[in-house]
Homo-oligomer: A and B are copies of this chain.
Amino acid sequence: MIIVMGPSATEQQVDAVIHKIKEFGLDVNVSRGTERTVVGAIGDERKLDPEMFDALPGVEQSMHIVKPYKIVGREWHKENTVIDIKGVKLGGNQVQVIGGPCSVETQEQMDLAAEQVAAAGCRLMRGGAFKPRTSPYAFQGHGVEGLAIFRRAADKYHLPIVTELMDVRMLDTFLEYDVDVIQIGTRNMQNFDLLKEVGRTSKPVILKRGMSATISEWLMAAEYIAAGGNHNIIFCERGIRTFETAYRNVLDITAIAMLKKESHLPVIIDPSHAGGKAWMVPALALGAVAAGADGLLVEMHPNPCEAWCDADQALNPQEFKSLMGTIKGVAEAIGRTV
């Protein structure tokens, strides 16, 4: 931790800062410059917080120099983490495409979708039983019945399933239906009680980035899960909120490179929610794979025009299959497989 004293800070004020640091058992380095005095804390600075010092008289600003995350940080875990989802490896050399509809509608729709997802070459399937909708009057998902439908459809094609958990009270039901990967949605990235609970399971968790979450907050949300003992965490970038209104979100592919540097955990991309329109999905999906994503979460619906939700962003089966082919080519160009 670095504490920068203001230009007119007194000796007494510098001493108060030093005293506060020592109270927490850390040592101190004082650098007296021509315009500012800088106090550095030597030791485990995670015990300290900038706000402790910013409130003291004479302090101009203070900042951490060590990263606040531990378990999820690459600094303490150099190798890439590869997560095993019923035998499917995510985070290794093979890029995984997780396909499927936005929401579980009917058994027929899910059976057909599962068949098409498998036929396109995917090894994992997505589908929503509980849907976070902006409006209380919109379709909220089939709930538990949706889990049952999804489970049946996916099992026929041996596809592990990915689905979103919104309410901590439903976790036991998710475990009962043996959901293979629990998705934490963008609106719940900092629902800390939910993070703590999934942290107590051993299920792989896809942690979507909050709409305007910084990389640092996202890593700390993952740390909440990891601190509970569950290290099977997959980051999923799904577009961030900016000033631009021409598309729903701005897909942030720089996040892939940054997360890969800061963390050992896998990173996947959701090109469907990012752009919000089916015609944008191929460009975003290919861009993400070329930029280093370990996987994709892509919406595919047997008949997009009839989809109950997000109809405008789902690919149809032909588009999806064709995209899978191009993804393969791009992955190979950077030395990966699909």
Residues of A within 8 A of B (CB): 2, 4, 7, 29, 31-36, 38, 40-46, 49-52, 54-56, 65-66, 68, 75, 132-138, 166-169, 187-188, 190-193, 196, 210-212, 214-217, 220, 223-224, 227, 239-247, 250-254, 256-258, 261, 274-275, 277-280, 283-284, 286-292, 304-305, 307, 309-314, 326, 329-330, 332-334
Contacts and interface: CB of A to CB of B under 8 A. Distances in A.
A280 B305 contact: no
Contacts of A247: 254, 258
Contact of A55 (B196, B239, B256, B307): B307
Contacts of A313: 51
Oligomer copy total: 4
Contact of A212 (B4, B137, B212): B212
A42 B31 contact: yes
Nearest to A56: B305
A200 to B, nearest CB: 13
A284 to B, nearest CB: 6
Given A46-B137, A135-B223, A51 B258 contact: no
A274 B253 CA distance: 11
A198 to B, nearest CB: 13
Contact of A244 (B137, B215, B278): B215
